[in-house]
């Protein structure tokens, strides 16, 4: 019976056993997250451009250059979608709004205090 007990405890200890770890424990996700500066709107330079690349011909307005938290981006995308009357999402610190709304979004962002420029043709 003692040998059976030892084999069970060996299975449990192997789950938590670290063979090699150069940069600390992988379970410490707070240490691995990148710190995101939450700059005020007047210090952010945003680029607004209409893009059709990789979207099966559908035009999407992409706003990039944000240096703010995900919560702020979520609130902003909700406001911009309502202003344009279309759908949109947040992907990789960029906002995508469905349709060609580059001019309108640049004006809205400027009124909100952001430095927004239209880029591309």
> Mean pLDDT throughout 71-90?
95
Domain residue ranges in the chain: 2-32, 41-118
- Name the fold adopted by 41-118: Translation Initiation Factor Eif1 (3.30.780)
Band (pLDDT 50/70/90 cuts) for residue 83 is very high
> Mean pLDDT throughout 51-75?
92
* Between residues 2 and 61, the one the model is more confident about: 61
Closest by CA to 62, choosing from 116, 11, 98, is 98
Task: Indicate the pTM of the whole model.
Answer: 0.69
Q: Which two tokens stand for residue 86?
A: 């279309």
Q: Specify the 3-state DSSP secondary structure of 32.
A: helix
pLDDT at 32: 53
H/E element holding 115?
Answer: strand 115-118
H/E element holding 96?
Answer: strand 94-98
């Amino acid at each position: 019976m003692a040998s059976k007990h030892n084999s069970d405890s060996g299975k449990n200890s192997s789950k938590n056993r670290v063979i090699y770890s150069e940069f600390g424990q992988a379970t410490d996700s707070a240490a691995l997250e990148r710190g995101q500066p939450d700059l005020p709107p007047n210090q952010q330079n945003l680029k607004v451009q209409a893009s059709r690349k990789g979207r099966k011909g559908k035009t999407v307005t992409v706003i990039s250059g944000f240096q703010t938290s995900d919560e702020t981006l979520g609130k902003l995308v909700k406001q911009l979608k309502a202003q344009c009357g279309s759908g949109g999402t947040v992907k990789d610190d960029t906002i995508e709004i469905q349709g060609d709304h580059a001019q309108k979004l640049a004006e809205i962002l400027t009124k909100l205090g952001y430095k927004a420029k239209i880029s591309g043709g």
